[in-house]
Amino acid sequence: MTRGRLVPDAEEMEYGYKVELEEFSGPLDLLLYLIRQEEVDITNIPISRITDQYLEHLETLQALEMDGAGEYLLMAATLLRIKSRMLLPRHGEEEDDDPRRDLVQQLLDYQKFRAAAERFDELAKEREKLHEFVPEQPLDELRSRDEVFTLSFYDLLGALRDVMGSVAEREARHRIELETVTIEEKVDLLRERVQTGRRFRFRELFAEALTRQHVIVTFMAMLELMRLGEIRILQHGHYAEIWIESVERREAEIARAASA
């Protein structure tokens, strides 16, 4: 799963933090994610639809003031250029010159590189397991029993975009008194909430958010607790509800199941 982490911003940005994604995150990862979501052949990208979806995700990324946003903007310009070229009539030799060709090759090369790197990572983990005690019922198996689908950062980003859309409608309907919200306060509030032991829905986090600023700060607080290993995110299949739960609570359940 691609994760985000929060780092202090030396330039004191508005929210006090900014999102810095770990390796294998960037414009090519976002494109591969969108292509998988559309369930289309990577060699025949529906460029118009993918470009529109990419721009929607980019708008949300910009709201988060994410590190490396320039790379996403450069890819957006590339997609728009390809989209405009595909709308133009082509004649003669131009008909054999697919504007998507260079991008497709870049995606294929990147996909191979990523697969190889992930395989090396798996081999390293397998070597580590050779020196570990393995119980009769592996904890990994217990942990994965109710996890049908692993979320990526871009899955969370899509869910965030939906929330921000509904909050924007509230902002348009009501005059809202702005209130200063800090990441630290939201982290503390979310930590108190998960310590109750109750699993709750992703959208419940934003039920009381009146502005997009509140939504963004809440989302970043959630990423911070994920980075600290205090919460985990679950989903029981594509497009199903996203759930948030305490890692401590889940580990206690696993321990009880293992000892039963």
Residues 168 and 96 placed together within one structural domain of the fold: no
Tokens 């709750």 — which residue? Answer: 200
- The last residue of a domain, from among 132, 155, 172: 132
pLDDT of residue 74: 92
Phi then psi for 236, rounded to 5 degrees?
-95, 45
- The last residue of a domain, from among 116, 132, 148: 132
- Tell me the one-letter amino acid at 181: V
- From the list 11, 10, 22, the residue with the least C-alpha distance to 226 is 22
**pLDDT higher than 70, residue 197:** yes
pLDDT of residue 214: 84
Phi then psi for 81, rounded to 5 degrees?
-65, -45
Q: How many angstroms separate the CA atoms of 138 and 254, rounded?
A: 10
pLDDT tens-digit map of 77-113: 999 999 999 888 776 655 568 899 999 999 999 999 8
Q: Own/partner pairs for 189-192, CB < 8 Å, 24+ apart?
A: 189/221, 190/218, 190/221, 190/222, 190/225, 190/231, 191/225, 191/230
Give the distance between the most distant pair of CA atoms in the chain: 72
**pLDDT higher than 50, residue 247:** yes
Residues 32 and 108 placed together within one structural domain of the fold: yes
Residues 170 and 241 placed together within one structural domain of the fold: yes
- The last residue of a domain, from among 132, 155, 186: 132
Enter the tokens of residue 16: 């006090």
Q: Own/partner pairs for 232-238, CB < 8 Å, 24+ apart?
A: 233/151, 233/156, 233/202, 234/146, 234/147, 234/199, 235/148, 235/149, 235/151, 235/155, 236/146, 236/147, 236/148, 236/149, 237/148, 237/149, 238/149
Task: Provide the whole-model pTM.
Answer: 0.68
Residues 35 and 77 placed together within one structural domain of the fold: yes
Q: Which region among 49-58, 117-126, 144-153, 210-219 has the lowest average model confidence (pLDDT)?
A: 144-153
- From the list 207, 170, 162, 168, the residue with the least C-alpha distance to 189 is 207
Q: How many angstroms separate the CA atoms of 222 and 224, rounded?
A: 5
Residues 97 and 163 placed together within one structural domain of the fold: no
Residues 170 and 58 placed together within one structural domain of the fold: no
Domain count, the chain: 2
Residues 17 and 103 placed together within one structural domain of the fold: yes
Residues 125 and 7 placed together within one structural domain of the fold: yes
Quick check: 82 and 103 in contact, CB under 8 A?
yes
Q: What is the CATH number of the domain that holds 226?
A: 1.10.10.580
Residues 145 and 63 placed together within one structural domain of the fold: no
pLDDT tens-digit map of 152-172: 788 888 888 888 888 776 666
Q: How many angstroms separate the CA atoms of 191 and 184, rounded?
A: 10
Residues 117 and 2 placed together within one structural domain of the fold: yes
pLDDT of residue 23: 43
Residues 161 and 78 placed together within one structural domain of the fold: no
Residue ranges making up the domain that contains 2: 1-132
Q: Which residue has the higher pLDDT, 238 or 244?
A: 244
pLDDT tens-digit map of 4-49: 443 333 333 344 444 444 444 789 999 999 999 888 999 999 999 9
Give the pLDDT band (50/70/90) at residue 181: confident
Residues 118 and 6 placed together within one structural domain of the fold: yes
